Amino acid sequence: TNTFIISYIGSMADIYDPMPFFNALSQWLYTTKNKEKTIKFRFIGSLSSVLKALISKKLGTSFEFVGRVSHNQVNGYLDSTDALLLVLPPKSELVGKTFEYMASGKPILVLGKGEASDMVEKSGLGKGFDRQDIEGMIKYISKLTDIYGKQIEIEPDWNYIS
């Protein structure tokens, strides 16, 4: 099977409210017609036991919790990642992770709207979603997995990014 890997790198506090993304991913996993394609969500960093249990319950075997790793190991995980999840805490402006993610050149799904999601969209690297837009996230996940293994059609605007 072809496994498409979406990763989150860093720490995530309960106030980040990431569950809308996991609801969307869970629905995609449950309803996807193409069983040859699957998604693994990889979490690299620190996560509360409450969130870890909630995500694990939603995603089952599609959830891989790596935990904290060295900076060198992060780069290895980044290389083997197909797309990145950026979660903006409610009422958040810009988070530093935005720049690290954009520098990777990987597609980015941003949960939450704000300056960071605007930047990601302007850069051509991804799309931002309101927390209630489950349907939009499912469609975007489908789009990312449809182009997986083909020439990815994101067109980063490197002038904007740098």
Is residue 133 within 8 A of residue 27, CB to CB? The reply is: no
To the nearest whole number, what is the mean pLDDT of the chain?
88
Residue 21: name the closest of 71, 88, 74, 97 by CA.
Answer: 88
Prediction pTM value: 0.88
- What's residue 107's pLDDT? 94
Interval 16-49: pLDDT, tens = 899 999 999 999 988 876 566 789 999 999 999 9
Contacts of 66 (CB under 8 A, 6+ apart): 42, 43, 44, 45, 77
Residue % of the chain over a pLDDT of 70: 90
Is residue 63 within 8 A of residue 43, CB to CB? The reply is: yes
- What's residue 135's pLDDT? 96
- What's residue 153's pLDDT? 55
Interval 126-161: pLDDT, tens = 999 999 999 999 999 988 888 665 545 566 777 777
Residue % of the chain over a pLDDT of 90: 66
In DSSP terms, 136 is beta-bridged to none
- What's residue 35's pLDDT? 64
